[in-house]
Structure 1
């Protein structure tokens, strides 16, 4: 009785480690497949839907808490929450999100077909349902999805089906193998592991490129490494940031200079006299452009977490910059306060605010023949939102620019996990990503998700390199920009409906 829950707990922790293993900080797809196969086998053997829900919940809670445990660092070290409360908050988040997987486990056990192959298809569908629900419902938080463990392998399918399509694929592969092992007549179902192997290898015969080069751009990516505990302190971190980023923006010679999220941690009107106009003047006269993070005031008097762009040429009267991007997907508790949770945020000793939300899919920043699409912090997690920029291929981005500050989470696997999220978006759209961060990873990622240039994390420096813009559109970008994720929801509904229909047939002994 106790063995199944313990196996679910251990498999969940293995699933978390597969995303960025603690011994090498790298993803390991085979570990993810093994972990999910264990869960699939446990659910296949569960005597009741209730037990299936419990096992799926245990697996998912250990997996999710083992994935984003670094939130504990932000809350206990930088927000000043008591250690026990910080740990409990992380557990509660994982436990609540695991409700989707508990529901998926219950549905699977209640509806699983007698056929092992049919059961594998149902398992993949309900697992996709849970991942979709976690990623898009309410504010959405798909961090740590199974697909990210396969960034150097099966994720190559992402240009066709996106990260959530890869989730379905890996769940199908894992369950095909697991249910073949459990089958009473393995010889009769020998095609199942062969089918899993075929699915895993078919990408070698698929077309590999749907985009073409749009020329090179020389970039300088700034990494200030401002300590998080002083980043917003006027006499220390703020002064250091204004000095260092101001110097680098003035001294850079690259065609494009990019500085991280809130690199300039003050509103323009609160900056030292002449600071803003000096930067404006430099880039108005040079054949250079700059993008950097700064908080701005919104039209209705609120505030936005923003990226501004400077480049040569006049600006409209009253404009602070030639370009402005306001963050659309805000972080709960950090950038907006969910209803009924004011009491929780009041306990935190960090610069919180109810920021205004920017528009979804705004125009790109045009520079030297490239269309640069900024996104801030974890916005690159939401591929279903970034894909809205591809509704018109003539104006779609040629390069994505992510500016972040992961300093809240210390020197943890959060950095590695976020890097692989950007790499997944590069695969989905066949677009390069350039990332300027406060503490790391500041990198250049090409359209094949390869990291071509990188700065050491938790150091101060400037990363120089060439990035090659791309034009064209991948199959995933084509269908997702038109239909969103609805094709995947329809797939889930069709498989579950088929299982319900099959369940009405006379019962027979499972193979």
Structure 2
């Protein structure tokens, strides 16, 4: 294992050879170091949609981030560097939350801005945690003897960075019901590492991304060390590889990084799933109902009139509406609308999946167990199919304990909704099982994989019904479409999206958008789609693969890394 790269010599400063064993002083990093990390995080937002092929840009940015981490000298500076990078990424990547809080929620601009900053600081905690764990596994944080020498890019460091990063993102998608938006793997949907998605999911793609970036830095640092050899043959940097295989120290990590990229480009050729059942002609509806009027009396009537027209416009195998397209309780649905839709379904053989509110009215007239639901009409059959949303949105569909004061600052119809079961039966359309999910449920890949894996009748097509009007015409629409594409890659299933304002789109089983409607328009998207059967490795194992590998790698790093106290003492012996 090579020694850390020494910092520039300073007059009177102790060297690694002369520094007393108990000297634990750290070199203080300048403020601009953390500002640069935040700027790098902000730049990483450009890796995600709508940037085309942003995955290549993301590899370069992550290499820069990892190199910046190697400039740190202890776990505290590593933590702050990771936090700055994460904050820069999230405050620019999810700024559209400000739109929902201020323009639609009625919160004052200063409070909405403050809420966005605080939320971004919270999200930045996970990259900070990953950087801290990395510093203990890959550097000298665990023995406290690093002095003013920064970390060195090593094999331990590369695998520890990949593992810590993946676990940090997995934790962000799990803690407090999870918010895995902007998980690094999403930017690879059109990038060179998308082929790993069916194997290990979005967090596995992030693991490979972090490893490739770290290996690139390791190779470049070693190559630079070779170039800086002194005329007498002695290394000019202490990171210079030991004699015996100096060039291999640069070539091997570069070759491995290249091999991982080539594998990522070739893996999409593997047929993880295969077509099943007859193709369906599907109409995806986009109502473009203004959010500010959706739940007013006039808005409700306008929505009913518009969707009655859109649904009955022409027949198809399946017609899908956006989330709560019919903004009323099912029991309160106007009879003329219900009869018109039912007659159309029965007379044309068209199955209909529409969004509305579910609930139970008690004998004494109280409404309980309200749900955000999708209801399905099967032609020629009485009764309704029902899917109730399981993963509810904090502050939108339930109020976390202790945060009612925050909700009181908003002018948004909120409530504590009831949850549906984690796995619910699919909707059968001409013997083609279709799995529904609502709103941002499709950002939780593990839950989508479970609905495919654990369902007695495994669905061949995925459908997402959502309403992103809360966020205006912002990058949130493009980002959500990119997320849906990742779900197709992970499961090997086509994904259909019916949205209120956009992006209404059809995605094939390879994650490619085959058709979509312009945003903020009224219309229907007619698509011919075929379901698939079979399980990808990710559907079979979920996130267990990347979590297990990451934990093993980190355990190895803690036990045998260059920062282990026993190893450090041995290296200090003459």
User: Same fold, TM exceeding 0.5?
Assistant: yes
Q: Does 1:191 align with 2:252?
A: yes
Q: Does 1:311 align with 2:382?
A: no
CA distance in 2, matches of 1:48, 1:408: 42
Displacement of 1:366: 0.6
The equivalent of 2:207 in structure 1 is 168
The equivalent of 1:367 in structure 2 is 429
The equivalent of 2:144 in structure 1 is none
The equivalent of 1:4 in structure 2 is 33
The equivalent of 2:161 in structure 1 is 123
Displacement of 1:344: 0.6
The equivalent of 2:7 in structure 1 is none
For the pair shown, the structure with the greater C-alpha radius of gyration is 2
The equivalent of 1:389 in structure 2 is 451
CA distance in 1, matches of 2:254, 2:566: 27
Q: Does 1:135 align with 2:173?
A: yes
In structure 2, the residue corresponding to 1:371 is in which secondary structure?
A: strand
- Gapped regions of structure 1 (runs ≥ 5): 316-320
In structure 2, the residue corresponding to 1:440 is in which secondary structure?
A: coil
Q: Residue 413 of structure 2 is aligned with which of 351, 364, 367?
A: 351
- RMSD over aligned CA atoms reads 1.8
Q: Does 1:203 align with 2:261?
A: no
After TM superposition, list the pairs within 5 Å mapping 1:378-457 onto structure 2: 378-392=440-454, 395-457=457-519
In structure 1, the residue corresponding to 2:547 is in which secondary structure?
A: helix
The superposition leaves residues 198-237 of structure 1 with CA deviations (integer Å, 9 ceiling, x where unpaired) of 10111344452121112310011110111111111111x2
CA pair 26-408 structure 1, distance change in 2 beyond 3 A: farther
After TM superposition, list the pairs within 5 Å mapping 1:474-493 onto structure 2: 474-480=536-542, 485-493=543-551
Q: Residue 280 of structure 2 is aligned with which of 195, 217, 231?
A: 217
Q: Does 1:500 align with 2:558?
A: yes
The superposition leaves residues 233-274 of structure 1 with CA deviations (integer Å, 9 ceiling, x where unpaired) of 111x21211101011222221111011001001112333343
CA pair 492-363 structure 1, distance change in 2 beyond 3 A: same
- Say if 1:226 and 1:438, in contact at 8 Å, map to a contact too: yes
Q: 198-207 or 360-369: which moved more?
A: 198-207
CA distance in 2, matches of 1:119, 1:271: 60
- Say if 2:70 and 2:153, in contact at 8 Å, map to a contact too: no
CA distance in 2, matches of 1:37, 1:28: 14
CA distance in 1, matches of 2:53, 2:103: 27
CA distance in 2, matches of 1:426, 1:259: 20
Displacement of 1:454: 0.9
- Gapped regions of structure 2 (runs ≥ 5): 1-29, 140-151, 223-238, 242-246, 363-367
- Say if 2:308 and 2:340, in contact at 8 Å, map to a contact too: no
In structure 1, the residue corresponding to 2:401 is in which secondary structure?
A: coil
CA distance in 1, matches of 2:555, 2:381: 59
The equivalent of 1:318 in structure 2 is none
CA pair 369-210 structure 1, distance change in 2 beyond 3 A: same
CA distance in 2, matches of 1:392, 1:302: 25
CA distance in 2, matches of 1:278, 1:479: 45
The equivalent of 1:15 in structure 2 is 44
CA distance in 2, matches of 1:304, 1:284: 27
Displacement of 1:393: 7.4
Q: Residue 243 of structure 1 is aligned with which of 305, 309, 327?
A: 305
Q: 114-123 or 323-332: which moved more?
A: 114-123
The equivalent of 2:520 in structure 1 is 458
Q: Residue 152 of structure 1 is aligned with which of 177, 190, 207?
A: 190
CA distance in 2, matches of 1:169, 1:397: 29
- Say if 2:194 and 2:265, in contact at 8 Å, map to a contact too: no
CA distance in 2, matches of 1:314, 1:18: 48
Displacement of 1:128: 0.8
The equivalent of 2:230 in structure 1 is none
- Say if 1:17 and 1:66, in contact at 8 Å, map to a contact too: no
TM-score for both structures, normalised by structure 2? 0.83
Displacement of 1:38: 1.8
The equivalent of 1:182 in structure 2 is 221
- Say if 2:200 and 2:545, in contact at 8 Å, map to a contact too: no
Displacement of 1:115: 6.5
CA distance in 2, matches of 1:449, 1:140: 24
- Say if 1:213 and 1:469, in contact at 8 Å, map to a contact too: yes
CA distance in 2, matches of 1:86, 1:115: 41
- Say if 1:371 and 1:396, in contact at 8 Å, map to a contact too: yes
In structure 1, the residue corresponding to 2:291 is in which secondary structure?
A: coil
CA distance in 1, matches of 2:558, 2:257: 25
Q: Does 1:228 align with 2:291?
A: yes
TM-score for both structures, normalised by structure 1? 0.93
The equivalent of 2:108 in structure 1 is 82
CA distance in 2, matches of 1:77, 1:387: 35
CA distance in 2, matches of 1:115, 1:67: 29
CA distance in 1, matches of 2:124, 2:332: 43
- Say if 2:288 and 2:522, in contact at 8 Å, map to a contact too: yes
The superposition leaves residues 109-129 of structure 1 with CA deviations (integer Å, 9 ceiling, x where unpaired) of 232156612210001111011
In structure 2, the residue corresponding to 1:397 is in which secondary structure?
A: coil
- Say if 1:97 and 1:134, in contact at 8 Å, map to a contact too: yes
In structure 1, the residue corresponding to 2:567 is in which secondary structure?
A: coil
CA distance in 2, matches of 1:197, 1:147: 18
CA distance in 2, matches of 1:294, 1:72: 26
After TM superposition, list the pairs within 5 Å mapping 1:3-82 onto structure 2: 3-20=32-49, 25-82=51-108
CA pair 108-298 structure 1, distance change in 2 beyond 3 A: farther
CA distance in 2, matches of 1:151, 1:138: 26
In structure 2, the residue corresponding to 1:242 is in which secondary structure?
A: helix
